[in-house]
């Protein structure tokens, strides 16, 4: 099985990720009630060690899954605007998409869409929980892909109504039919649709690879905390450079179709 090098984290990122994990817990608590020390952060790392530090090997048949990276996350004034997180996701995804297309790696897009006159019924309870989902009503420019991510006619765009790219869609059966074993995940948002998709990728029998600098969120600490959890429990988190090298490795190991002379 193919396996990129394991040093996927930036310098001192173990401590940074632990800090992000703890900070995410603090977001829900009044600052006056909690204090965090270096000892606390070290305890987080030690608590995960031996229980949530396994590794998954990458397979030989990847797919690039671009999750919900539409204008709603990229344009100021949108209720879902992800600021620098969205810009990072876009830049990283553009790199992955260019490479995948050049190397023949299959690409699948997802986009959230709701019927124009359904008044949110197709979003169920989620519509009441997150009113900003109205940005995804069909026909709105916020629900469309930016020009640099326009899907090709040969690329599948799955429409979904919920966070996971698998829930209520044909994604799992399609990946199985394509003989995909590894799903490289890019897009937005790290704490929402990316995390839900990574979890369901694992639960559907594929290796999830979330690309750290090709996903994004509204807040960097939330982004880091969720990547910490994904790496610990559900998948592998890698930098775009490592995934690009993996794509090259996969493409290089694929046998070219035999010539007519070789067939004879």
Active site residues: 193
| C-alpha distances in Å from residue 14, one per residue of 17, 25, 44, 88, 223 | 5, 17, 10, 21, 15
Largest CA distance in the chain: 78
- Provide the 8-state DSSP code for 23: H
Beta strands in 98-256 (DSSP E): 107-112, 156-160, 182-188, 207-216, 236-238
Burial class from Cβ neighbours inside 10 Å (0-12, 13-18, 19+) for residue 41 reads buried
Other CB atoms within a 10 A radius of the CB of residue 16 amount to: 15
Alpha-carbon span 245 to 77, nearest angstrom: 37
Alpha-carbon span 100 to 62, nearest angstrom: 10
């Amino acid at each position: 099985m193919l396996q990129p090098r394991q040093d996927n984290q930036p310098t001192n990122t173990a401590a940074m990720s632990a800090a992000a994990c703890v900070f995410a817990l603090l977001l829900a608590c009044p600052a006056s009630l909690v204090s965090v020390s270096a000892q606390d952060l070290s305890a987080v790392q030690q608590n995960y060690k031996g229980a949530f530090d396994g590794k998954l090997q990458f397979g030989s048949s990847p797919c690039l899954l671009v999750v919900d990276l539409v204008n709603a996350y990229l344009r100021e004034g949108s209720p879902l605007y992800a600021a620098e997180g969205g810009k990072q996701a876009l830049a990283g995804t553009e790199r992955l998409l260019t490479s995948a297309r050049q190397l023949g790696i299959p690409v699948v897009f997802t986009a959230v869409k709701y019927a124009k006159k359904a008044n949110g019924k197709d979003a169920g309870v989620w519509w009441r929980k997150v009113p900003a989902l109205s940005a995804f009503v069909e026909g709105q420019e916020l629900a469309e892909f930016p020009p640099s991510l326009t899907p090709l006619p040969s690329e599948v765009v799955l429409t979904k109504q919920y966070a996971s790219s698998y829930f209520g869609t044909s994604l799992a059966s399609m990946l199985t039919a394509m003989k995909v074993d590894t799903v490289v995940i890019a897009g937005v948002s790290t704490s929402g649709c990316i995390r839900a998709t990574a979890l369901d990728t694992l639960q559907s029998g594929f290796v999830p690879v979330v690309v750290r600098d090709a996903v994004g969120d509204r807040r960097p600490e939330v982004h880091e905390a969720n990547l910490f959890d994904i790496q610990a429990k559900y998948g592998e988190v890698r930098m775009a450079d490592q995934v690009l090298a993996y794509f090259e490795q996969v493409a290089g190991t694929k046998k070219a179709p035999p010539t007519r002379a070789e067939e004879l």
